[in-house]
Every structure is written in C-alpha cells, then in structure tokens.
Chain A
Amino acid sequence: MIQYASIILIMLGLYGLLTNRNVIKIIISLNVFEIGLNLFIISVGYVDGGLAPILTGNSTSVLSFVDPLPHALVLTSIVIGVGTTALGLAFAKKIYAKYGTYEIDEMGVE
C-alpha cells in the first residue's frame, strides 16, 4: 500500500502546519503537504505493469499504459507549488524585514 505513504506525507505537512510557528518552517511544511499531494495524484493513475505513457519504437496505443492525465495534472500542480513557494518566501523575507525574526510568536500582537 505504497499509495498511503503519500497520505502520511500529507498528514506530516498538516502536522507541521499545526505545530510550527516559524515562517520558514511553515513554508517547508506546506511543501511537504504539496509533495504528498502530488505523489498521491500520480499514484491514482498507476496501473500494475503499465508502461510509461510514451509511444516508442513500434509500439501501439493498444498496450497498457499508466494513466497520463494525473501526470499532466501533477505537472501543473508542481509549477503552481513553485509559484506559491516563491511568493511565500518573498513574504517571509518581507516579514523578516519588518520584524527582524521568522518566529511568529516573537513578532508581538498586531
């Protein structure tokens, strides 16, 4: 049940979000969450004994391939993840510039 490892990864990400009060660590947790998610998406398309979804040599599409759609979705999801992470880091930098710390607890009440 390798598929459920990705669920555990998602849960790890959530755990990190629940317990961490450090901006950078929160972003890392978010990334763990996203990676778990992406793995899960790919796992959904897996077919036992399926080929990578690329036609090669004289093969035809009659052969059994794994589902290519989740791969395409994951590609999008990864890129979006990159975008949000970059933005999150930028905000982290802004936060550091404003408060001089990455620890949310040390920033005082806003």
Chain B
Amino acid sequence: MNPVLLIAIPLLFAFLSIMNKKFARPLLLVALLLDVYLVFTISKGLYSIGGFSQYGINLLVDQYSLIGLMVVNVVFFLTVVTNCKEVKRLSTVLLVALAGVNGLLLTNDLFNLFVFLEIVGISAYLITSGNKRPLATFNYLVQGTVGSGLYLLGLILLYSMTGTLNMALILPTIVDKAIPLSNLALPFMLMFIGLGVEAKLLPFNSWVKGVLQNANALTSVLIAGVFATTIALTFGRLLSTVFVLGSISNIVLVILAVTMLAGEVAAFASKRIREVLLFSAIAQSGLIILLFANGLVIPAIMLIIANIVSKYILFTITGKMVDGTKTDEIESLQGVFSKNKLVGFAFTVASLSVIGLPLFFGFIVKLNILTSLFSQYQLFLSALILVVSLIEGTYFVKLLIKLWYSVGEVKTFKVDALVKVVTLIFALGLIVFGVYTKPLTDSLMTVPEEMMEAIAERGNF
C-alpha cells in the first residue's frame, strides 16, 4: 500500500466533510479506521510523490516512521473514540490534523515538513480554541507562527548552501561540499528553535500553560500526547539524520537540560492537577529531544512510546475527572479514586511508569536511557536526569496519595465503560512491556541503521 494514502484519505474526507456537516463525524471515524488499517499494511521503502525520485518530494517509510505511525494513529483513533462527545464540530479539523500528523512522520523533504508543521499547527490552534480562552490560543498562534517562520528561515539558508531540500541529501551534500560546521550553526539553530517552539522546549514554550491548563480530555491528549509525540519524532529524525549540531551543541544541550529541570520543578510547585501534568509533559519532551541530540535514538523512541501511552491515560482520566468534579485543584480532588478504583489503577500505573519504577515500562526505558548515557560517559547529564526524576517521583507520589486517600468528603465523577477499558488496556500494556520488553527492543534494534540507510543511498530508489 502506498503510504501517501495515510495523508490523502484524511484530506479527501476533510474536503468532503464540509459539504455536509452530518457526515463529518462518521467520516472522521472511517478515516481513522482506514488509517489504522493502512498503517499495519504499508511496507517499508521510499515513496516518491509525482515520480521525481530524489529531486521531488518523497515519503520515507522505515522502521522509525513505521513505529511512529503505528503509535500515533492508534492513539489518535482511541482519543477520538473515547472523547466522541467533545469532537462535535472539530471533525474536519481533526481530519486535517490526522493528515498533518501522518505527513510530518512520513515526509522526507524539509519544506514539505514545514507545510505539514503549519497544518498541524493550525489544527492545534483550532483544537485548543475549544477552551474558550482565545488569548491563550492567540498566544500559541503568535509563537507558533514565529517558530515556523524561523524554521523557514533556517531552511532557506540551508537550501542556499546545499541546493537541496531532500532530507536524505542534506548531510551528504554538506560532506561533499565540505561546508564548515561554523557556517551551519545559524541555519540549524534557527530550525532548532522553530521546532523547539512546537516541541515545548523551555524558553520558547510560554504557550503551553495557557493552552493546556484549561484543556479537556480531547484537547490535552491530542496536544500533549499525539502532537507532542509527532513533533518529537520529527525533531528526532532531523536531529539524527539532518542536523549537524557541531558548534551549537552546547547551547542546545543547555536549553534541553533547563527545559527538563524547569518542567519538573514547576510541576513540583503546582497545585493543580492539569498544571502538574503539563509541566511534566514539558520536562519529558525536553528529555526526549535531549536523547535525540545525543544520538540515542532507541532509548528516545522507547521513551516516546512510554510517554504517549502514559500521557494518554493521565490526560484522559484527568480530563474526565475535571469534567465530572468541576475542579482541578488537587486539594479538592482528594480521594476521588476511592470511588473509581479501576480508573485509579490505570492512573497509578501510568504515573508509576512515568516515575520509572520497576515492573512498569517506564523503568525499562529509564534503565535504557541511563545505560546509553553512561556508555557515552555523560556523567553530568545522567546525574541531572536522576535528580529530575527524583523531583518528578516526589510530586507524582504526592499526587497519587492525595487522589487515593481522602480527608474530607469525596467528589465523584463518572467515566464511560469505553474509557475504562481503553485506559485499563493501556495500563496493562505498560505492565506487560515493563516485564517483557524483548519484542519491542528487537523491533527497535534496526531503527538507527535504517535511518542512515536513506542517507547512504542519497535518497535514491
């Protein structure tokens, strides 16, 4: 199957959906189902659009994008299914967002990536507009536009130096033309910042709080789960196959380290559950990009998978909880899980996995991260990661204990059976992967090699 259908089908359905509003939601569900089906049937390879080999736009399906597509499409599907009520008039937007997300993961062209970045960005603005906080969304829009503008500036500088936009050709061209690293610092930094805005990296992420602190389950899972994962994967591909960090690696590492630390510390100081989760998400994305920047692709992907699953559970349940109890102050949510044990179980498993305790997937990920960091002899970074995860563990434990044990009266909230089932399955998945990870690690083994293959082939067929 041609992977372009992953993008074309949602787009087609999006165009069709505005003709009659009634069909929008069914079309969305059908498109999602088709995409989920397609993801599991497409085969690896380089697919050209229009048949212009490496001179045109290509879609690259390797193990990396395949894993990303599977995770993102499945979670996207489940998010929509479990939040069917909130979808309402957003169906068309979600269809376009789906196309954008798949495009970001598939594309092998820098400018095409920019276009999809805009598509995803604009759909994200619209998705968050449901929060009734136009100023926050406007803020997001301004920052997103500046970010993608900077990305475009960096891209055009890169184009003028290398003469190509094909991601697989950039690195070989740099080598061929012997472009000095100092000349590449500016374009790569611009692109890094541009993507950093979307990836929630620290100095560029003042939009996150406004957008996510009042988000419902659908919005928060999409923004913090699906979109964040997509951006992280895209970022990861750029960092591992296109960017030559060279002289800017110090700035980049400082930015990422500060992101991690600030996210966790801010979460520690937060009193509201959605704030806690969103700051934790910021810190996690900092860590993910940090791993990519250090060339640790496999641990990064594992972390991404662990993250999207646990973020799905945490944000969905939190969304439902806030909907039901009309508050997101942790103090007034005390003991909510004593009436919703199954949901509480899923939430607990997800948080324990995020903390990185054994028997859960997060632990395996943490172990992998540290082993790889230490094999690079990154003593300071790994110490920082440990300190940060101590802070993270502290506030998550605090949160868990508060949510399980009440002091006064207990608020209740209702959760659909479907949400219960899905979160429970995800939670069990975290446990299963935490105990038996071999299939996953095996399938990740080939990722770095395959990523480099397209470069070695110079984007040829």
Contact = CB atoms under 8 A, between A and B. Distances in A.
A17 interface: yes
B138 A88 contact: yes
B111 interface: yes
Nearest to A88: B141
B133 A83 contact: no
Contact of B152 (A26, A37, A92): A37
Contact of A94 (B111, B134, B156, B160): B134
Nearest to B140: A91
Nearest to A27: B142
A52 interface: no
B125 A87 contact: yes
Given A41-B156, A44-B160, A30 B145 contact: yes
B137 to A, nearest CB: 6
A32 B210 CA distance: 26
B146 interface: yes
A80 B118 contact: yes
A70 B156 contact: yes
B138 A91 contact: yes
A17 B202 CA distance: 19
Contact of B210 (A44, A69, A77, A110): A110
A78 to B, nearest CB: 11
Contact of B111 (A14, A17, A73, A87): A73
Contacts of B129: 91, 94
A32 B137 CA distance: 21
Contacts of A54: none
Interface residues of A, number: 31
B141 A77 contact: no
- Interface size range of chain B in the complex: 20 to 34
Interface string B266-293: 0000000000000000000000000000
Contacts of A70: 156, 159
Interface in A37-70: 37, 40-41, 44, 69-70
Given A41-B152, A91-B129, A26 B142 contact: yes
Given A33-B146, A41-B156, A95 B118 contact: no
Nearest to A91: B138
Contacts of B135: 95, 98-99, 104, 107, 110
Interface of A: 10, 14, 17, 23, 26, 30, 33-34, 37, 40-41, 44, 69-70, 73, 76-77, 80, 83-84, 87-88, 91-92, 94-95, 98-99, 104, 107, 110
16 contacts: A23-B138, A30-B142, A37-B149, A44-B156, A44-B157, A73-B111, A77-B152, A80-B115, A83-B118, A87-B141, A88-B142, A91-B134, A91-B137, A98-B134, A107-B135, A110-B210
Given A37-B149, A69-B159, A76-B115, 9 more contacts: A33-B146, A41-B156, A84-B122, A88-B142, A91-B129, A91-B137, A95-B138, A98-B135, A99-B135
Interface of B: 111, 115, 118, 122, 125-126, 129, 133-138, 141-142, 145-146, 149, 152-153, 156-157, 159-160, 165, 210
